[in-house]
Each structure stands twice: as C-alpha cells, then as structure tokens.
A and B are shown apart, each in its own frame.
Chain A
Amino acid sequence: MSVEAFVLSKNELGGFLEKLKEDYEVLGPVAKDTEFVFAQVGSVEELRLDYDTTILPPKKYFHRPVETLFKFSGPTEITESGEPVRKQVIFGIHPCDLNALLSLDQVFLGTYPDPYYKARRENSVIIGLNCTKPCEKGFCSSFNTGPAMDTGFDLALTDLGDKFLVEVGTLKGKELATGLAAASTEDVVTKNRLLRASQEKMKRRLETEGLAELLYQNTEHPVWEKLKEECLACGTCTTVCPTCFCFGVKDYVDLTLKNGERPRTWDSCMFYEFSRVALDHIFRPDRAARVKQRIYHKLVYFNQQFGTTGCVGCGRCVSTCIKSIDPVEIVAAIRENPSPPKEVKLFTPVIKKVTPEKSPWEPQKAVIKAIKPQTKDTTTYTFSFVDPKVQEAYTFEPGVFNMISIFGIGEAPISISSSPDVKDSFDHTIRAVGNVTNALAKLKVGDIVGIRGPFGTGWPVEEMKGKNVLLVAGGIGLAPLRPVIKWIQARRDQYGFFEILYGARTPNDMLFTDEFEEWRKIPNTRLLLTVDMVPPGVEWSHNIGVVTTLFDKMHSRPENTIMITCGPEIMMKFVVRDLLARGFAPEQIFVSLERRMSCGIKKCGNCQIGPVFVCQDGPVFRYADLMNLPEEIF
C-alpha cells in the first residue's frame, strides 16, 4: 500500500481536536446562520464537517483580506515588519480549496517569494476532508481538483460513516496521527468507492478540452454583452474566489501624520477603479471587459501565468452571485454557438524566478543627490542609496522601473531615466500628477525616500546589437528611453544607424533639451523633433505636427531595424499602426506600457493585460506578443 492510512472513530474526534489545540489554533468549518464559515473551532460540536462550502475560502488564513506589510514612522523608517504569525491547523479543508491554495503557492512563492504568505504557509498544518457528497454548485471534477485530494495535505480525512479514514501526506501528518489505529484494506476500498460515487453524482461540468483556444477565439461572442447587462460589478465573485489574489496597497497614518502602516487589502478586477492610475485614467472601464477578464483569468490566463489552474470549481462565485452568473453556463453557451475557429497563438510569458535575500516589500533608503527641473511639472531627481553596499550592488537594464515610496503618502512605479553605466547614482524623471509624485515635488536635495527595485523587463538592447535602431518617444515617454540613448552612445560600434524621433505637445514640454546637441553628435545618429503646437512667443525651427508626421522625414527603413517606442497610448497606437503600414513587422516593434502597479513583483495583479503582468513581463513588450491578446493594449 503506497499511502499510510489510519482510522479515527467519530467519538475520538473531540480528543483529536483537543490534542491539536495544545500546539495550534484550530480553524475549521462552523455554522453561521444558514451558511458556514471557517473560524476558530471551540468544541467538537461546533465543527461542522458536514458543511458544503464556506462563505470565504480558507485562503483568508494565508492571503489575509487585510495584511499589514510593515509599520513605519516618518517617510522612510520601518518600525515593525509584518504581523505575528500563529501556528494554525486548517481542519476540514475541501479538495477544491486545497488545490486553490496550491495554485496560490505559485503566485506567492514563485518569483519574489512573499514573506507574509510564506510564514503563514510554513506555520500551517493542512488536515483535508474529501467530499463524499458533491456540493450543489461545485464542478471540481472538471479540473481534477475534487472530490478527492491527492496532494498538498498533511492529513486527509474521508468520512466513512462512523469513522474517518485518515491518510498521511507528510511526516508532519504522520506525527499528528500517532496513536490512531491502522486502517484496513477494506476501509481504503470503501473510501475509493465513496469518492468515485461522489464524482459520478456531480452533475455540473465545465468542459476544459481546448478551452484556451475556444476562449481566445470567442472574445466577441454575444455572451459577453449579455453578461455586461447582467453583471452588477459588485465584485462578490472575486471576493469569495479561493484563487483570486489581487490586492491594493495603501498607506494609513494616525493623526500624528507620521506614524502609520502599509497594509495590502484584497482588490477586485470587477471594480471599475481597479485599473485606475494617476489623473484618473482607467484602463478597463467597460464592464464586459472586466467580466471577460475574470473568466479568462480563471480559465486561461492563470495557467499561462503560473502553470496551474485558476479555477478549482468550488462553485462559490455561482452560489453567491445575485444574478447567478456561472462559468459553466458561459462556457456551454460559447460551445453551443462558437465564433468561426481561427488560428490562435497563445502567448505565454516566460516564468522567471527571482529570490531576493531581503523582503521585496521593504524599500531601501535613497537620498536625493540632485534635482533638475525639466518642464513646469516634470523634474529629474538623482538618487543614491544611503547604504553604499546597496548602491554598489544595484544594477539595472535600460527601460525598467523602481517603486518609489514616501511612507504615509504611498508608493509609485517610476521608470529609471539614467544610464545603467553610471554606478554611483540613478535618475528618475517625474511628472507631478499623483499623491506620491506631488509629494516628491516638495522634496529637496538631501531628503530621503524609499526605493524598491529595479523591476521589470527593459528594452531589448541585446537583440538590437548589430541592428539599426529607431526610437520614437512622446512627451514624458522619453524618460525610460534615455537610458537606451546613453547605452548606444557608450557602445556606438555595436549598433547600426540610430534615429531618434521625439515629439511633445509644445517646445516647453520637451525633456532633456540640454542634451539634444550631445545626442546629435553621436556618430551615425539623427535626432528629429516635432511639437503639436507652438505657443506665441516661443521659437521653434523644427517640425510641427504629431510624431508620426516625422515618418516621412526619417531615414529608418524596416530592414534590419528594431523600433522602440514609449509615449501616450494614443501616440503609440498610431506609431505602431503607421510603421506596420510602412513595412515594419510586429516582431521588430517594442512598446513600453503603463498600467496600475501596487507591487512590482507579480503579486497585486493590478497591471495585468490578458496573461501578462506589465510589472514583470514588461513594461517593455514585443508588439507581436501583445497584438493577439484577448484584451486590446491600446
């Protein structure tokens, strides 16, 4: 027999619980009104192992609805990290919720392991409970995430009537089972029979065969418009989902205005403001798009992102939805009347694993070395980490970003605008438009901020080697491209013809104007400038018109060229469109995208576009990878 198994008679359950309570907080299903919730279990009578499902999944004990990342005093001083973590037993977790936890492990313990989740996971014992009776709305067998569990537990219980079969999953579990009587072969056979019967009784099924391709082909299916009419955008489906992980981060201060904490709080892609960035720009305002995002993320993207299922078929989103919106029915409706099949290329971002020694949540102190105004609202700040060792170890690629923190105000993602070759400092060119950037604008040389980073994937400077480079920038979009200019300047012989096209609203809105002369002197390089308009009294001898009007004047041709662009979305949209028309291939085009980011480390979920996380898979993307996503990028 491969799995060690014991039996626990039902009248022994109380004693078993009491023994667990000596070392652990025991959390299990208890009744709440007509429903069930996971809560601290007082007596064995409270423990309701006959529960069908709970309002919130036990995920709440690992990824807390609100979790304090740290407490602070003043703009950069961390006074306390995290919250105390207790040893806990999750008693009676169903296979669906356990499998959801295993999916969440990929999110929180993969790249940039999350210290808070990790601590809770490591201090937990999982005692699972197989489902001998399917729940009303569940469809777990569609994903092999129930009704039986096969991994991830310390102990797994199965109700055999007057007793539980107790299967051992780990050494820890074996320890806890000490003293129990060994199970007979008959007990194991009974368990298998019961669980097979349970699976056969499960009426609901979501057909997963070719699901990714099906959904990618049906982004315009009428079902989405219908759901837009139905959906209340209340976010309940995501709040009760055992695999949803998105959260927002916000600082709270007490009335001293100096002391406070930075918690993360569950967020929902169903909320209109989920994707909001400074100046109140919303990237996913359409409710149909948000419904689609949730369904696609659960059924397709999660798998592309983390190699594991994003839906475990627990049925909570269905049973709690006021309008009974049901993924099983959505998929069935699409299968019944699918759009004509077309070839789909599923772009799956590379799964990277970064494991920094320090907590990825806690910023390092950096001092402002210099401040240089660029335009009336945009300024370049030169920073250097206070700890020389941190500064020495700090390297980055052109095009990536840092998270800049002022405790009490918040944190914002800002691209690095200096050359990676400068080792003793780095620049950020910042437009004062939001809470953090406005607060930065009030700082002076010598002031200290918190910085985490660098994060993300930058410009393809390796792939560009030996090729011509066309750089198209709009407004403040020049900031993340400036490192490329410096990079090529320092390695001029490694790159071919280099052409810089830069447009801004007016001459006064142009950044780095004092460097233009130097850029023009880079051998085999052209700099073309344009502005949308010239205010009265301002001198201007270059082009007038949007940046695409420079295309007729440029010398760049598609052959052996890489085009890189950053600017307002609407600009990039037309730049890409016009260059495609001029014979550039989508593979030659690289764009840098902006989205809301609360973490930078592929956790908060705010920056997702289809299966990509802009914070890690981007902000720089090859256009070919994005052009066929189910969600439009611009």
Chain B
Amino acid sequence: MAKPRIAFFKFSSCAGCQLSVLNLEEHLLDIFGAVDIAYFVMAKRENHEGPYDVGFVEGAVTTPREVQELKKIREECKFLVAMGTCACTGGIPSMKNFAGTQRQMEEKVYTELWDIQSIPAHGIDYYVKVDAYLRGCAVDLGELVELLKSLLLGVSPHFRPHAVCNECKLKENVCLLVHKGKPCMGSVTAAGCGALCPSLNRPCEGCRGPANDANTVSLAQKFLELGLTREDVRRKFLKYAGNTPEFRRGAEAV
C-alpha cells in the first residue's frame, strides 16, 4: 500500500491538539515512515493541495466561513477524523451556546461588531460525516497512534468508550469523589486518557465527553449532595460537551 497522504486542519480552537501531534517525538519518525504528511501548516513550510487519504480536523465550527471550508475538506479527504474535543462536541467554544444569544456573546467579546459573524459552536459532525473521533482536550497521543495504525491495517480502532473510573481504579487512585468529596466527572466521561487528571489529584472535568450509557442525571444529583449549587452543576456539564444529549441532560437534571 502506498503511503497514505495525511492532512491537518484547524478551526476555532487553541491549536493544542496539533501541538500535541508534534509531541509524539518517540513515534514521530516511525509515523513519518508510515505516512506522508502532505498538509500541516503548523509543522511544515511546504504544504500540498488535496485530495488526502486522511484529514485530521481540530477545532469547533463557529463561523459560516468555517462551515464552507469544512465542507471542502470533507470532499478532499477520504477519511475524516475529528481531532480533539472541540472538533468532536464543540468543546470549550461551545460554552457560549448556553450563555445567551449570539449577539450577547459577540458584545461581550468584541467592541466592533459590524464584521463579526458567529454561529453557535458545534463539533464538525454537525455539518459533515465524520469517520472517527479522537476525544480529549488535548487528544491522547496513544489514541492518535492507535487510530493511525488501525487505518493502516484497515481495522476499526480500539477506543475505550466506558467511564474514566475504570482506568482510574486500575491505577489504584484514591477516589476523589467518594473519599474526598470532589465533584469528579470520571464516572460519566469516556476513558482513554488513562485517568490523567484524577491521577494528578485533580477531578475529571469531562473533557472527553460522555462515556457509553453515561448516567449524567444520577451524577448531577450526587453533585448536589456534595454541596454544589445548581449553577455549578450546570456549568460542569456544559463546559466541554453541552452539545451532547447526555451532558445536556446532566446540566438540566437539577
């Protein structure tokens, strides 16, 4: 098989996911051996036009122009990957969807409004078909490599759609929620990060979006019992994935 041509694109985001790709130091040379990185503005001076075999898209879609660009990218890429939480669920930019009208948001941020055209922030699958999702803020590099290998092998990648709790328990972390009373989102958030935050004594923020069959309503009630206010609970569920029905239910449950 010829080396697949790979491209990286960016929409509304912090560019942290792309930067992470460059952190793949130990694998980077092997990856360059296996694939042809044709378009990666952050990393390369020479970039080539499509079509591409695989396109990685970072960032949420927040303007009409981005919608048009995304549609063109979809046409150019045989396999399209939503890379990172913003591209998967709207991520941090999607907080604005729940904080007021577009106009109110625009007024909060910009002084000159005449040229501002923003739309509610969504993950890219709101507009185009997506073939695979790399969750996380930022993406997990192990999963990125796993996805690349799966693509090269022609098999479906093995991700962990269950709760972060599993990975956390396997590390034998003391449970931040049960034993320390901290509002950890691990029990409703998809695993794959290796329980990164709880392992560093920080509660899970839910950046990877809902786990399979996430029971957010039950967790929201638990958060109230822990002493969180209704508004706290709402904010927790709307931070990264308020666009998903599961986290939205959690936000609206209390």
Interface string of B209-224 (1 = CB under 8 A from A): 0011111011100100
Residues in chain A near residue B156, CB distance under 8 A: 435
Contact B166 A235 (CB under 8 A): yes
Say whether, besides A232-B188, A287-B213, A266 and B163 are in contact (CB < 8 Å): no
B49: CB under 8 A from chain A?
Answer: no
A230: CB under 8 A from chain B?
Answer: yes
Contact A239 B170 (CB under 8 A): yes
Stretch at the interface among A29-37, A105-113, A140-148, A509-517: A29-37
CA distance A321 to B153 in the complex (A): 39
Contact B218 A231 (CB under 8 A): yes
Residues in chain B near residue A33, CB distance under 8 A: 174, 179
Closest residue on chain A to residue B179 by CB atoms: A34
Residues in chain B near residue A443, CB distance under 8 A: none
Q: Which of B27, B155, B173 contacts A255 (CB 8 A)?
A: B27
Stretch at the interface among B11-19, B28-36, B106-114: B28-36
Residues in chain B near residue A321, CB distance under 8 A: 178
CA distance A229 to B213 in the complex (A): 12
CB distance from B140 to the nearest CB of A (A): 15
Interface string of B188-215 (1 = CB under 8 A from A): 1000000000000000000000011111
Interface string of B150-176 (1 = CB under 8 A from A): 001111101001110110011011110
B119: CB under 8 A from chain A?
Answer: no
A208: CB under 8 A from chain B?
Answer: no
Q: Interface centre among A230, A254, A322, by most B CB within 10 Å?
A: A322
B94: CB under 8 A from chain A?
Answer: no
Say whether, besides A33-B174, A239-B169, A323 and B161 are in contact (CB < 8 Å): no
Contact A320 B175 (CB under 8 A): yes
Contact B166 A255 (CB under 8 A): no
CA distance A408 to B154 in the complex (A): 11
Residues in chain A near residue B219, CB distance under 8 A: 232, 322
Residues in chain A near residue B188, CB distance under 8 A: 232, 234
Contact A408 B162 (CB under 8 A): no
Residues in chain B near residue A233, CB distance under 8 A: 162-163, 211-215
Chain A count of residues within 8 A CB distance of the other chain: 41
Interface residues on chain B, size class:
35 or more
Stretch at the interface among A150-158, A268-276, A347-355, A472-480: A268-276
Closest residue on chain A to residue B166 by CB atoms: A235
CA distance A435 to B222 in the complex (A): 40
Say whether, besides A232-B188, A322-B177, A408 and B169 are in contact (CB < 8 Å): no
Say whether, besides A33-B174, A266-B170, A323 and B27 are in contact (CB < 8 Å): no
Residues in chain B near residue A239, CB distance under 8 A: 165-166, 169-170
For window 107-128 of chain B, which residues contact chain A by CB distance below 8 Å? none
A410: CB under 8 A from chain B?
Answer: yes
Interface string of A203-245 (1 = CB under 8 A from B): 0000000000000000000000000011111111001100000
Contact A32 B212 (CB under 8 A): no
Residues in chain B near residue A65, CB distance under 8 A: 170
A257: CB under 8 A from chain B?
Answer: yes
Say whether, besides A322-B219, A410-B155, A439-B155, A55 and B31 are in contact (CB < 8 Å): no
Contact A257 B152 (CB under 8 A): yes
Contact A35 B165 (CB under 8 A): no
Residues in chain A near residue B33, CB distance under 8 A: 255
Contact B215 A322 (CB under 8 A): no
Interface string of A254-297 (1 = CB under 8 A from B): 11010000000010100111000000000001010000000000
Q: Which of B174, B178, B212, B217 contacts A273 (CB 8 A)?
A: B212
CB distance from B221 to the nearest CB of A (A): 9
A250: CB under 8 A from chain B?
Answer: yes
Q: Which of A229, A250, A271 contacts B212 (CB 8 A)?
A: A271
CA distance A34 to B27 in the complex (A): 38
Contact A408 B174 (CB under 8 A): no
Contact A232 B212 (CB under 8 A): no
CA distance A435 to B31 in the complex (A): 22
Contact B155 A409 (CB under 8 A): yes
Residues in chain B near residue A230, CB distance under 8 A: 215, 218
A508: CB under 8 A from chain B?
Answer: no
CB distance from A411 to the nearest CB of B (A): 12
CA distance A56 to B165 in the complex (A): 13
Q: Interface centre among B27, B33, B153, B179, by most A CB within 10 Å?
A: B153
Residues in chain B near residue A409, CB distance under 8 A: 153, 155
Closest residue on chain B to residue A409 by CB atoms: B155
B186: CB under 8 A from chain A?
Answer: yes
CA distance A285 to B33 in the complex (A): 41
Residues in chain B near residue A240, CB distance under 8 A: 169
Contact B166 A236 (CB under 8 A): yes
Residues in chain B near residue A272, CB distance under 8 A: 161-162, 212-213
CA distance A438 to B150 in the complex (A): 13
CA distance A185 to B173 in the complex (A): 43
CA distance A435 to B165 in the complex (A): 28
A253: CB under 8 A from chain B?
Answer: yes
CB distance from A62 to the nearest CB of B (A): 16
CB distance from B254 to the nearest CB of A (A): 14
CA distance A408 to B187 in the complex (A): 31
Q: Interface centre among A33, A55, A232, A250, by most B CB within 10 Å?
A: A232
CA distance A234 to B33 in the complex (A): 39
Contact B155 A235 (CB under 8 A): no
Contact B163 A234 (CB under 8 A): yes
B96: CB under 8 A from chain A?
Answer: no
Interface string of B54-98 (1 = CB under 8 A from A): 000000000000000000000000000000000000000000000
Closest residue on chain B to residue A408 by CB atoms: B153
CA distance A240 to B169 in the complex (A): 7
CA distance A230 to B220 in the complex (A): 11
CA distance A466 to B167 in the complex (A): 56
Closest residue on chain B to residue A434 by CB atoms: B156
B149: CB under 8 A from chain A?
Answer: yes
Say whether, besides A234-B187, A235-B163, A239-B165, A32 and B172 are in contact (CB < 8 Å): yes
CA distance A321 to B177 in the complex (A): 10
Q: Which of A35, A255, A271 contacts B179 (CB 8 A)?
A: A35
CA distance A373 to B219 in the complex (A): 52
CA distance A228 to B77 in the complex (A): 42
CA distance A273 to B160 in the complex (A): 9
CB distance from B171 to the nearest CB of A (A): 9
Q: Which of A56, A257, A322 contacts B149 (CB 8 A)?
A: A257
Residues in chain B near residue A322, CB distance under 8 A: 175, 177-178, 187, 219, 222
For window 135-151 of chain B, which residues contact chain A by CB distance below 8 Å? 145, 149
Contact A255 B154 (CB under 8 A): no
CB distance from A242 to the nearest CB of B (A): 13
Pairs A-B, 3 closest by C-beta atoms: A272-B212, A234-B165, A234-B163
Apart from the given pairs A255-B34, A257-B34, A408-B153, 4 other A-B contacts in the complex at a CB distance below 8 Å:
A240-B169, A257-B153, A266-B170, A439-B155
- Could you list 17 A-B pairs, sorted by A, with CB under 8 Å? A56-B172, A229-B217, A232-B163, A232-B187, A234-B163, A234-B211, A236-B166, A255-B149, A257-B34, A257-B152, A272-B213, A273-B162, A285-B213, A287-B213, A435-B156, A438-B155, A439-B155
Residues of A within 8 A of B (CB): 32-35, 37, 55-56, 65, 229-236, 239-240, 250, 253-255, 257, 266, 268, 271-273, 285, 287, 319-323, 408-410, 435, 438-439
